[in-house]
Structure formats: structure tokens, C-alpha cells
Amino acid sequence: MRHVVRFVFTGLIVVTLMVGRSTASSGMAQVAQAQDAKKPLWGWTTVAEYEKATGKKLPAFNESPMLADQVKAGKLPAVDKRLPDEPLVDNPFEAVGKYGGSLTLGQVSAAIGYPASNFTTFESLFSLGRDGNTVVPNIAKGWEFGDGGKTFTIFLRKGLKWSNGDDFTADDILFFWEDILNNKELQPNVPTRFAPGGKPMNMVKVDPYTVRLEFSVPYYAILPNLSSVVFTGCQGDFFEASKYLKQFHKKYNPNVEADAKKAGFETWVQYLGAKRYYWYNARPDIPTMGPWHIVKSVPEGSVLERNAYYYKVDTAGNQLPYIDKVNATIFNDAGTLALKMVAGEYDYQDWSTTVSDYPAFVEGADKGNYKVFMAPSLWTSIAAYSVNQQYTGDKADAEVLQDIRFRKALSYAINRDEVNQVIALGKGQPFQATVAPSASYYKAEWGTAYIEYDVAQANKLLDEMGMDKRDSDNFRLRKDGKPFSLIVSDVKDAVPVKMGELMKEYWEAVGVRTVLRATDRTLMGQQFTSGEFMIAGWAMDGAGELPVGIGTNSYLQGNQWGPQWYAWYNSNGAAGQKPPANVERMLTLYKQVPLLGPDEQKKALTEIFDIWKEGLWRIGTIGQVPKPGIVRNGLHNVDTNTFTDNADVGIGTFNRHYQFFWDNPK
């Protein structure tokens, strides 16, 4: 196959993704804000790159004393045998660190949630630089687009190893594609991400260290789709520990059904499922590519030790990570975790915290021997209210919800400055639910549309709708003279607890009778599909440029506000209902977005967000609400001014835990 060479082996200069623009381009106000100029973007692909770029010679490889002892005892190969032929040279955030010590992290909920253990075992094929927009090499050392974007070649590092010492080769990627994604017993359909233009891609093993993907249409979004954005490109999403997993796979083990039964599973499918790593499912026996691996799991949490085969070194030739051991503890209750944070029992924590606890964290900082920081966020709304356009209840009520004047009135009725003060200590911004302002194509009017607090305007719009008559309690009646109640599904797990009560007050102030209905998030998830709700709050997540650009933002597909249209989108028109012209245009455009070249994509997204702004199907409240985090005094290389929206930017890609080190390692 002839390559149209767009070779992007990266050095210091990084070529970016589908948008294809350099980091210096404009429109990155917020990202720029969130990082200072001196922040190293990431590092160098190989030792040679490092030496070429800096003119320095990398010292001989060094390792943690903990591993050196094992090497001496003959339990482990020497460090240069464990590192790949071309290790990645990582540029530390502040300084080259010291080996040793342990890191104590916490997480809420054992089974669901961001397991702290996974922040420390997560590793993706490609990664993001500290700016949050630049794709950089990681496990793979490089990539190449060819044939006008119709082929994509991945180059792996020679001698790269899993945490158990197995080789990491092209087979690990092919196993995932052929034996997992294309096994009908395991996966009924190939995810659309790997079927651009409606046709599953083709995967070719060029040699043990080179894999080529072939598409029926140009597909530039494949790169960010393998770069940790929304957890993509990690183990379980694009590659697997094939040597280890084969024993649980029917194709390679004819006795697997019996083995599964013996291990307490019903089928081999479940058995294999339990042995596969995913970012929420790390287990002691599963090899990983991350900086640490789990050595023990107990009900209280997991104990992790450094991955002796981790492929990154620092600029002094030290194999990373610096810290030997991680204790990842599990909490049943976020309140207890917060208490323990205040008590100074945690070394680093930037998740499972709420902004209203910030004063309490600061109060305890001196005694607890930690610093508190506020991490910026990409989410444009901490709670956006989705107005159901296909309400299955009363027809006349459904018509009210479909009226754009009604949605505008609800938006004008919200006093966002007050919400900001009450919910976010004034640290957020009044914002409409739209794309993050850091997006290169961002228009200021998207974020500010209908966010003024204008009760008169809201009343005027409602009057115009014919809802000008009032009942004995002074609530507005419908056009047909019948009472109207706006039932708000209040999901306390998904929005700040007091948000619903505030909305009720604002909307009742303009005469809309509002009923709060406490709803469990599971029930809500189902109602989002069935359409049995009127209006419901949920965050405007996935709003960063990258998640939007790779086509995963489900709100732009109709999720939550147009259940039938969402079904229409996901079934390629086979199910659901065909939407009206403006929605159809938006959905159709969004389907093409991942396939488009940089400029066309920008154009398409601009049009999409113009339509989105006028539709106002999701009413935003306040956005960019920072999350508090703590870091123990004496822990270094911690970036306290970076995104912690882990789903949007990829777990651990911003704050690289493997760079953390202690002043005085114990």
C-alpha cells in the first residue's frame, strides 16, 4: 500500500490530531490559563530523541533500591533487560525525584467509581500532553496516517514488557480485535468507533512491532480515540494481555467451560470478562502496563507495587515510578473519605471531593500537613437540565416542553450568580451547557446564550405562550386552562444536592409550579431512554474539545433530551423517530464529525453548536466549577493546576502519579 506520508514521529514539536493545529494556536484561553508556561508538555519518545533535542547524554539506567535488591538476589533481570530497547524519556514536572516511599490514595465505592488502584495502573497506547489537547506517544512510540487518512499505522517499542515480564507485541492488539471485539459471543457488534463509515476496520499485523488499521473512509479521529480521552486506547479498550488471557478464551482453551464452572462462573464469557482489565476493573492477577500493579486486593482496598518492567525513565535515566508502593483504600461513604483527608491520612486526592468541602479542607491543612488546591474543570455545567422533547405523559404538557419559549423562560429565570455562590463558593461561572470555551472553534455567544437573570423576560415569554392565566396559588395555567406542573427529576447522585431546591424556587418565582421528584440514578437512566420524565439535571460532561471531536458526546446525539432521536441516531435510522429538520441536521453532522479532516470538522462543529444553542434542549447552570484536591506536604512533581475531569481527559494523563516523589521517602 502506498503511503501518503504524513509522518508524525514526534520530538519536541508535536503534531496534533484531528484538528491538526499546533499548540500555539489561538482559542485555548482556558487551557493556557490552567497551565503555566514552564510546564513541560510531556517528554521525549526515545533516548535518541532526548539526546538529539537537548544535546545532553542520558546517564546509565538506574533503578529503585527495592528492585536492585531483587536483581542481586537473582529474582529479576537487570534494569536494561527489563526496559524496552527504546524507553520513553519522561520530563519531570518539577525535578528529578528520589526513589522510595509509599502513596496512600482513597476512593469511594468498591465496585463502581474511579478506583484509585486504576489511576495507578492505567496506561494508554497514546497519551495527552499537559495542555490537554496534544496527543503524544506513550506505549506506542509513533503513528502514521496514510492513504489520505484511510490507513493508520502504529509503531510499538521493541522489548516492551507487561508487568509479569511477558512481551508486549502486535499480538496483544490483534488478540483484542480478532478474539474479543470480533467474537460474536463476547461482543454482538463492533463499537462504531472502530467502524468508521459503517464498516468495521481491518487490522493487519505488519511485523511484531507494527500494526496497520485500514478504514473504508478517511478517519483521523482514530488517533485521539486511542489516546486516553474518555478512557480510550487503554488495556481492555484496544489491547489485552493476550498471553495471559488465552487460557480463559474458548478459542485457545477447549476446556474453558469446565474451568469457568469450577471457578464459580456460569459461562466462559463471564469467566473471561472477569479476567479482563478495564479502567474500573483491575485485579491482582491481571498483568498491566501501568507504573504499578496490584499485588493484593482485600475488602479495604488494594496494595500496589511498582511495575518492574515499566517503560519510562526520567531525564537522569532513573526507571519510573519513583514511589515503590501504593495503598489504594476503599470508602463506602464520601463523607468519611473527606474526614480522613482532613485528618491528613491521604497523600494525594483530587477525585470524589466536592467544592463545598473546600473550606473544611483548608481549615484542616496545617494540622493535617497537606496543601489544598482547586483543580480546574472542563465541564460547562455542573448541572444541566435536560428538557424532554418526547415526554410520554400528558400531550399538552409535552407541547409545553417542546416550546422553545418555555425553555428560554426557564433559563432566564435562573439566578446563576446566586447558584454559583451557594453551590460553588463563587468559583464557577454562570454558563450555558455547551462545548468548553477552550475549544478552538468556540464562540462566546454559545456559553452566554440566555444565561442572564431576567425574570421579566421569562414572564413575558411564558405569557406569550398563552400561559398567562393563574390558579388560586398564583401558578400559571396551561394554554387550555388546565393546571401545569413541571416535574423535576432530582438525581442527587448526579447533581449537587441543593441544586434541585434552587431550581424549584426560581421556576416557581416565574409562576411555573415545580415538583421535585427524588429519583435514583438507575431509574433516571431508564427514564432517559423511555421518555417518562419532564426535566432532569445531569452534568454537561464530555464537553472538552477532544471528547466532542471524537464523537462520543452523547448529548449531541440526542441523549437525555430526545430519547427517540437518540435511538434513531444509534440505529442509523432503523429505530426511534426521525427528528425535525434542525435536529436531524445536527445529528447527521455529528455522525460525520469523527471522519472529517481538521478544517471541515471545525466547520461542522461550529454549525452543530449554533443549532444546539438555539435549541436549548439542555439548560446549563454554572460551569468550570473547580474540584478541590489535597496533596501532602513533601510530595513533589504534583501539578495542582490541572484538569481532574478524568473521564474527559484520561485517567492519570494530567497528574502523572509515576512522577510523584517524596522529600524524605520512608
Partner 1 sequence: MNLSKLLRRQPAQMDSVLALPTDAAERYYIASQRELIWRKFRKHKIAMLSSVLLGILYLSATFADFIAPYDVTARTSFRYAPGQPIALVGSNYTGLQVYGYKQTNDPKTLRTIFDVDSTKSYPIKFFVKGYEYRLLGLFPTNIHLFGVEGSKATIFLFGTDELGRDLFSRIFAALRVSLFIGLVGVALSFVIGVVLGGISGYFGGIPDIIIQRLIDLILSIPTIPLWLALSASLPAYWPSTTVFFGITLILSLIGWCGVARIVRGKFLELREEDYVTAAIVAGATNRRIIFRHLVPAFASYLIVQLTLSIPQIILGETSLSFLGLGIRSPAVSLGTLLEDAQNIRVVVLYPWLLIPALFLILIVLAFNFLGDGLRDSVDPYKQ
Partner 2 sequence: MAQFVLRRFGFIAVLLVLVSIISFIIIQLPPGDWLSAYVSALRTQGAQVNEAVIEGLKQQYGLDQPPVLQYFKWVTNIVLHGDFGFSFSYGRPVSDLLAERLPATLFISILTIVITYAIAIPVGIYSATHQYSPLDFLFTFLGFIGLSVPGFLLALILMFFAYKYFGLSVGGLYSSKYMGEAMSWDKFVDMLGHLPIPVLIISLSGTAGLIRVLRGTLLDEIRRPYVDTARAKGLKERTLLWRYPVRIALNPLISTIGWLLPAVFSGQTIISIVLNLPTVGPLLYEALRGQDTYLAGSIVMILAFLTLIGTLLSDILLAVLDPRIRIEE
Site for partner 1 in 306-335 (CB under 8 A): 335
Rounded to whole angstroms, the Cα distance separating 490 from 524 reads: 9
Stretch 164-203: interaction string toward partner 2, x if CB under 8 A: ---------------------xxxxxxxxx----------
CA atoms within 13 A on the CB side of 34: 27
Q: Least distance in Å: CB of 545 to partner 2?
A: 14
Residue 519 binding partner per list partner 1, partner 2, none, with a CB distance cut-off of 5 to 8 Å that depends on partner kind: partner 1
DSSP characters for 553-583?
Answer: -GGGGTTTT-HHHHHHHHTTTSSS-PPPHHH
Residue 366 lies near partner 1 (rule: CB under 8 A): no
356 binds, among partner 1, partner 2, none (CB under 5 to 8 A by kind): partner 1
Residue from the set 443, 460, 492, 636 that interacts with partner 1 by CB under 8 A: 492
Residue 571 and residue 573: Cα distance in Å, rounded? 5
**Using the rule CB under 8 A, which residue among 147, 345, 468, 508 binds partner 2?**
345
Decide if residue 339 touches partner 2 (CB under 8 A). Answer: yes
Site track 287-306 with partner 1 (rule: CB under 8 A), x = hit: --------------------
Query: Minimum distance between the CB of residue 225 and partner 2, rounded to whole angstroms?
Result: 11
Q: Which residue in the set 265, 348, 441, 612 belongs to the binding site for partner 2 (CB under 8 A)?
A: 265
Q: 604 near 596, Cβ under 8 Å?
A: yes
- How far apart CA 352 and CA 108 sit, in angstroms, is 7
Among 500, 511, 623, 652, binds partner 1 (CB under 8 A): 500
645 scored as a contact of partner 2 (CB under 8 A): yes
Q: Which positions ≥6 away from 257 have C-beta within 8 Å?
A: 250, 267, 268
| In the complex, least distance from residue 510 CB atom to partner 2, rounded to whole angstroms | 29
Alpha-carbon gap, residue 651 to 236, rounded angstroms:
14
Min separation Cβ 537 and partner 1, Å: 14
Our finding on whether 371 is near partner 1 (CB under 8 A) is: no
- The alpha-carbon radius of gyration of the chain (Å, integer) is 26
Q: Which stretch binds partner 2 (CB under 8 A): 137-145, 154-162, 425-433, 540-548?
A: 540-548
- The burial of 634, by beta-carbon neighbours within 10 Å (0-12 exposed, 13-18 middle, 19 or more buried), is given as middle
3-state secondary structure of 386: strand
Q: How far is CA 195 from CA 233, 478, 496, in A?
A: 15, 47, 37
Nearer to partner 2, 25 or 526 (CB): 526
From the CB of 612, what's the least distance to partner 2, in Å? 16
User: Which residues have CB under 8 Å from 665's CB, separation 6+?
Assistant: 98, 99, 100, 101, 322, 323
Per CB under 8 A, which of residues 618..657 are in contact with partner 1?
Answer: none
Rounded to whole angstroms, the Cα distance separating 492 from 401 reads 23
Query: To which residue does cell 487460557 refer?
Result: 247
User: Shortest CA distance to 621 belongs to which of 462, 406, 386?
Assistant: 386
Quick one: which of 400, 392, 313, 387 has its CA closest to 89?
A: 313
Q: What is the DSSP letter of 57?
A: P
Q: Minimum Å distance from CB 356 to partner 1?
A: 6
Q: Which is nearer to partner 2, 155 or 569 (CB)?
A: 569
Q: What part of residues 515-534 is at the interface with partner 2 (CB under 8 A)?
A: 520-526
Task: Spell out, one character per residue from 219 to 248, where the chain touches partner 2: x when CB under 8 A holds, - when not.
Answer: -----------xx-----------------
Among partner 2, partner 1, none, residue 357 binds (CB under 5-8 Å by kind) = partner 1
157 binds, among partner 2, partner 1, none (CB under 5 to 8 A by kind): none
- 606 contacts partner 2 (rule: CB under 8 A): no
Of the pair 65, 426, the CB lying nearest partner 1 is at: 426
| Cβ nearer to partner 1, comparing 194 with 358 | 358
| Cα 336 from Cα 324, distance rounded (Å) | 27
Cell readout for 425 is: 463558593
Q: How far apart are CA 636 and CA 577, in angstroms?
A: 54
- The three-class DSSP label of residue 72 is helix
520 is a contact residue toward partner 1 (CB under 8 A):
yes
Q: What is the H or E stretch that residue 326 is in?
A: strand 325-331
Give the binding range for partner 1 (CB under 8 A) out of 12-20, 461-469, 485-493, 565-573: 485-493
What's the one-letter identity of residue 613?
Answer: K
C-alpha cell at 347: 497523600
Choice between 61 and 453, CB closer to partner 1: 453
In angstroms, what is the minimal distance from the CB of 278 to partner 2?
10
What's at 455, amino acid-wise?
Answer: V
Query: CA 302, 303, 309 angle in degrees (round to 5)?
Result: 120
**Least separation in angstroms between CB 400 and partner 2:** 26
Contact call for residue 302 and partner 2 (CB under 8 A): yes
Least distance between partner 1 and beta carbon 388 (Å): 15
Span between the terminal Cα atoms of the chain, in Å: 56
Within 476-505, which residues bind partner 2 (CB under 8 A)?
Answer: 491, 493-494
Q: What does 190 interact with, of partner 1, partner 2, none (CB < 5 to 8 A by kind)? A: partner 2
Q: Which of positions 424-483 make contact with partner 1 (CB under 8 A)?
A: 425-427
What is the spatial distance between Cα 214 and Cα 224, in angstroms, rounded to a whole number? 16
Identify whether the C-beta of residue 152 lies closer than 8 Å to the C-beta of residue 144.
Answer: yes
Place of cell 471541515: 600
Cis peptide bond prior to 359, omega within 30° of 0:
no
Based on CB atoms, which residue is closest to partner 1, 101 or 629? 629
Helix residue spans in 182-277 (DSSP H): 242-245, 256-262, 268-275
Is 414 one of the binding residues for partner 1 (CB under 8 A)?
no
The residue (of 274 and 362) whose beta carbon lies closer to partner 1 is 362
- Per CB under 8 A, which region of 18-26, 261-269, 447-455, 602-610 contacts partner 2? 261-269
In the complex, which residues of this chain contact partner 1 (CB under 8 A)? Answer: 335, 338-339, 342, 356-360, 362-364, 421-422, 425-427, 487, 490, 492, 498, 500-502, 504-505, 515-520, 523
